[in-house]
Structure 1
């Protein structure tokens, strides 16, 4: 499988290093004897070369966080027996300790790269910059979709809070920026003004629900400079993008996750969102033996998300099946709490525990939440935290919050 368009470029913002065919050839020679490539994936040209070499050789590659010790994970999944269609293995979003892997075929990886590129209108003139880790499915999706269309990807490692990042945006005339909700919160605090970066014409958002006020805010900022904002929805299990809300429909479909990717469809079955498309994973792997399994799902993904479709097929996500709490016998959707209040919510001990990093009065906030829920205030525990713990993909680390109770 070759994702690399002949005109595509990968350049390191810090060193100026540029990906070359010779680098990919050298990496291919190095990994030729490996049945599986276990690849720590920093945002470097060398790592991208090794990744593309593995795909070209049709060897399954497991992408790893370079800052963690994966000795046990590698030992667990080392095998000579792998399915011939298997291309990519990714840990499930937010999993720690004993994660299961998402098994993606070459066909699924290519399909989703094309779906994303078509939905965003990516061309060879586009320039993206890494805003997320490449071992995280959203960051990897940016790489895939741009390389497929002959665009440029700038590798940057300092992050959006640093001057070097924004200097690289200007120097390389970056046209597209991809962020998760926590990064949009940071951008608002930074008073992001797209007019200061005239090359930037596209913002994309995925990796969780973005509050509608922020969608409206950043869409207006981009509209003021003739740019666009796309809201997207997906899961690692779908390679990872499943839906896109076009900029032209942001205003009249505010809060929607968008329409299904080209070639995909949504249904809602017993309240659960079900996606069908060519980008659906083959299935999970929990042991090395699972890497030899074929396609278990046949293109059908039960997402675990709750939602509904409107009369035009726009998807609205209302929560997660497992994101529930019970307080004094009343079932509470934790996602609903977070949509109505600027908090992170977890469950435990017949209480709703919420964490706020804002300046809200704790007692007042507790009373407001209890009143909104229609329950006694003693069922709500509000805690102030300096900043919410985040996973490498920018999502809230709910396990860390639960562990602090």
Structure 2
């Protein structure tokens, strides 16, 4: 059963929360309401609140595929997605459309195995949707609960957006294990978040690399939160010095590696191996298997997506991948099967946990003179030949606005001449070697 009968949801500010028959009753009534909506996938502006979680769980129990999207999507982006995927309803968006686009032609019904749709990136280009089966979602939730030893006594806050695969996996893994999730829309920089962490005696905290950098700047002191025993990290590489620092703050720090295409997490590094496996992201989660094919990390497991979707027609397709995901990352396995990620095959960067296509970034750079984009730790580096210091600051802020990320995720640097290959193309490896 999903959620587990012992699972509990608490909205920040409430005392008891919902669990057992009360939670099941709310989910059932939501499912009945959603079942009465027009056919097609549901689009939910997924917030960290009860209404959104009920929408998600209600759609699950109604057997309706649901796209969990950024609730603050610009109206134009939402309209473009709705035009392509023909949702039956749009729920909970800040900039709602008056009505879903009319169905001018027959659209096939979504595949019966399809459960959840997640966007592959923030707002760059025309994002594809990742098609996740119900089996994949439950398999990954169970694998994470097992790997992290999550049980009914555990309590986790929503420290990440629930439309982000890592944030969603925290919700799923706790609900499937009979644990408690505290729903808060406050961020780590808000006092109310830490007040809730203390008052609800949260036992774990999930974060991406930039949040760990924030915690260091905030001089995070675990002694103020005696119930907090576990930290988890995914969403990009965490600097070794931060791994060492935060490992000393709690009983357990789990370093993980994942992708939306695998319903979130594929590997976990057990806390007891942090010292002797520096730089590793661990071993495959239960039920998964890793291999290296011509340098590329390939993951096998029941949590692999059914495939991508570009339009409503794609939602009717079955499983395209058969449980095999070519990650696009370069890596190696040591003699114990621990994975070390060494680079990327594709021009994809992760900025604050959000995937950014560097080719899309370079399209936005047109008109700014000779420029190129490379990925760094939790940021995109822009190399430009012609812009002065003030123009570089303006460019960082423009990119941040267009890609809906914080401006600090863009490091705009001057370079005398972009290095070129014999073909005349930019030598990205030479740029990356410059740091």
Identify whether the pair has TM-score above 0.5, normalized to the shorter chain. Answer: yes
User: Which segments of 5 or more consecutive residues in structure 2 lack a partner in the other structure?
Assistant: 87-106, 351-357, 414-435
Contact 1:238–1:279 (CA<8 Å) still a contact in 2? yes
Pick the aligned partner of 1:45 from 47, 50, 56.
50
| Residues 19-53 of structure 1: per-residue CA shift (max 9 Å, x gap) | 43332122112111343221111111111111111
Contact 1:23–1:46 (CA<8 Å) still a contact in 2? no
Alignment of 1:258-297 (within 5 A): 258-297=282-321
1:11 corresponds to = 10
| Residues 308-362 of structure 1: per-residue CA shift (max 9 Å, x gap) | 11110000111111249xxxxxxxxx99xxxxxxxx9x888476779999xxxxx
**CA 1:393–1:194 in structure 2 vs 1: closer, same or farther (change >3 Å)?**
farther
1:272 offset after TM fit, Å?
0.7
Distance 2:371 2:406 in 1: 28
1:109 offset after TM fit, Å?
0.5
The CA RMSD over aligned residues, in Å, is 3.4
Pick the aligned partner of 2:36 from 29, 33, 38.
33
Contact 1:271–1:308 (CA<8 Å) still a contact in 2? yes
Distance 1:202 1:235 in 2: 22
Contact 1:183–1:394 (CA<8 Å) still a contact in 2? no
**CA 1:202–1:73 in structure 2 vs 1: closer, same or farther (change >3 Å)?**
same
Contact 1:114–1:148 (CA<8 Å) still a contact in 2? yes
1:75 offset after TM fit, Å?
2.7
1:190 corresponds to = 218
2:429 corresponds to = none
User: Which segments of 5 or more consecutive residues in structure 1 lack a partner in the other structure?
Assistant: 325-333, 336-343, 358-365, 371-376
Is structure 2 residue 84 aligned with structure 1 residue 76?
Answer: yes
Alignment of 1:170-185 (within 5 A): 170-185=198-213
* Partner-residue secondary structure (3-state), 1:207: coil
**CA 1:164–1:140 in structure 2 vs 1: closer, same or farther (change >3 Å)?**
same
Is structure 2 residue 142 aligned with structure 1 residue 114?
Answer: yes
TM-score, structure 2 length as denominator?
0.76
Distance 1:141 1:355 in 2: 25
Distance 1:389 1:181 in 2: 18
1:240 offset after TM fit, Å?
1.0
* Partner-residue secondary structure (3-state), 1:221: coil
1:243 corresponds to = 267
Of the structure 1 ranges 227-236 and 71-80, higher mean CA displacement relative to structure 2 is found in 71-80
* Partner-residue secondary structure (3-state), 1:30: helix
1:195 offset after TM fit, Å?
1.2
Pick the aligned partner of 1:87 from 115, 128, 133.
115
1:64 corresponds to = 69
Alignment of 1:290-329 (within 5 A): 290-323=314-347
1:339 corresponds to = none
* Partner-residue secondary structure (3-state), 1:185: helix
1:278 offset after TM fit, Å?
0.6
* Partner-residue secondary structure (3-state), 2:245: helix
Pick the aligned partner of 1:139 from 153, 167, 182.
167
Pick the aligned partner of 1:167 from 195, 204, 208.
195
Pick the aligned partner of 1:217 from 197, 222, 245.
245
1:72 offset after TM fit, Å?
2.4
Distance 1:350 1:202 in 2: 42
| Residues 86-116 of structure 1: per-residue CA shift (max 9 Å, x gap) | 1110000334341100001111011000010
| Residues 260-318 of structure 1: per-residue CA shift (max 9 Å, x gap) | 11111111111110000010000000111100001000000000001111110000111
Contact 1:43–1:130 (CA<8 Å) still a contact in 2? yes
Distance 2:168 2:287 in 1: 21
**CA 1:29–1:103 in structure 2 vs 1: closer, same or farther (change >3 Å)?**
same
2:89 corresponds to = none
Contact 1:257–1:316 (CA<8 Å) still a contact in 2? yes
The count of residues paired between Structure 1 and Structure 2 equals 363
* Partner-residue secondary structure (3-state), 2:116: strand
Distance 2:316 2:185 in 1: 35
1:60 offset after TM fit, Å?
0.6
